Structure 1
Amino acid sequence: MPETPAAERPSSKRPLWIAVVLLLLGAGGLWGSSRLIWFAEFRDAGVRGMVLYSENGATRAVALVPLAILALAGVAGVVATGGWPRRILAFVLAAAGVAACWVAVDGVRFGGYADGVPAAEILTGRGLAFLAGMFLAAGGLVAAKGAGRMPRLGARYTTPGAKRAAREARDPDTQLWEALSDGTDPTRGPTTGR
């Protein structure tokens, strides 16, 4: 069976929506992780004695919120663009996902917490950031792989000349049906000036 040229391949919406959902999950996970505690220790507060000092993810790992915003902007970019711009954006998003994973594992420790320190919340915050980074990287890779086949915003609003050129590249039977759909008589040849 001969391979279908790229211009005639049908666009598939499934990879686009998979990429969008993965990017949204990544953005939500990064934002949620930034709200959880990432660091806690007891410190001497003078008269008050030892108090628990804690920092959330947005304070401890300042890259979490900007990466979440990048993932949200990436959703709009993946939907609106096509071809090479979509591929470039997809690789940027995949790199951002790797960066989020690095932020999540940088400085993590699994033991040695003092009594009263919310170790479970610290590990949950870092784990959520790591999972969100994986979603972000996977969404970027899905968008990069299907960049040429996925539909893009405004693709159906092409100029008549572009429609005609695309029609001429297809088989004759399709051309006849599309000419009828456009309201022209396919049996009449091109008319010359009157």
Structure 2
Amino acid sequence: MVGLLLGAAALWGASRLAWFAENRVAGVRGTVLHTETGAQAAGALVPLAVLALAGVAGMVATGGWARRVLGGALVLAGLAACWVAVNGLRTDGYPDGAPVAEIYVGHGLAAFGGVLVVVAGVLGLRGATRMPRMGARYSAPAAKRSAAEHDYDLWDALSDGRDPTAGR
């Protein structure tokens, strides 16, 4: 779950950094440097971060097959984040004054966040039955349920006019 939190934070942080830079003609101002953040250039970053954050609550609240489905969805979301990180990344052709280091850090942070989400999803798939789920600590074990059913049998015998202790 820590991996999901860190992955969500990395994806959100990558969405705030510059991802694209080019010179554009701006009419009277001439040629100006135009930059776009990760959220502008790759609109999927913020929704993927929100999905990873929601995955934390889902991993805590679910168990069994529902946790496996969620783990699979998180693996796909992490792979999508990795694809967004490498799609459109170029190594040359940036104009003078472009924040090249920030662009590389943004793409790298998105890839790192995607890998963290993939790893957390795989761990959720593998440990779906072993990890405790929310409220599992308070559910009664089977032995206690059978004792409660025994109590119901005693009351049912009394209701029917029979002595529940006669056969013991």
Give the TM-score, by structure 1 length. 0.74
The one-character-per-residue Cα deviations of 1:2-26 (angstroms, maximum 9, x if unpaired) are: xxxxxxxxxxxxxxxxxx0110011
Q: Structure 1 stretches of 5 or more lacking a match? A: 1-19, 169-178, 180-190
How do 1:1-40 residues align onto structure 2 when only pairs under 5 Å count? Answer: 20-40=1-21
Verify: 1:78 aligned to 2:49, yes or no.
no
Runs of 4+ in 1 over 6 A off after TM superposition: none
**2:87 alignment counterpart:** 106
**How far apart, CA to CA, are the structure 2 residues paired with 1:62 and 1:114?**
23
Name the one with the larger helix percent: 2
Choose from 117, 134, 143 the match for 1:136. 117
The one-character-per-residue Cα deviations of 1:73-131 (angstroms, maximum 9, x if unpaired) are: 00000011111100110010011000000000001111221211111111110110000
**How far apart, CA to CA, are the structure 2 residues paired with 1:193 and 1:126?**
73
- The count of residues paired between Structure 1 and Structure 2 equals 152
How do 1:97-176 residues align onto structure 2 when only pairs under 5 Å count? Answer: 97-159=78-140, 162-164=141-143
**How far apart, CA to CA, are the structure 1 residues paired with 2:78 and 2:48?**
8
Give the TM-score, by structure 2 length. 0.84
8 Å Cα contact 2:21/2:95 also seen in 1: no
Q: Structure 2 stretches of 5 or more lacking a match? A: 148-153, 155-162
**1:92 alignment counterpart:** 73
SS at match of 1:122: helix
Largest Rg, 1 or 2: 2
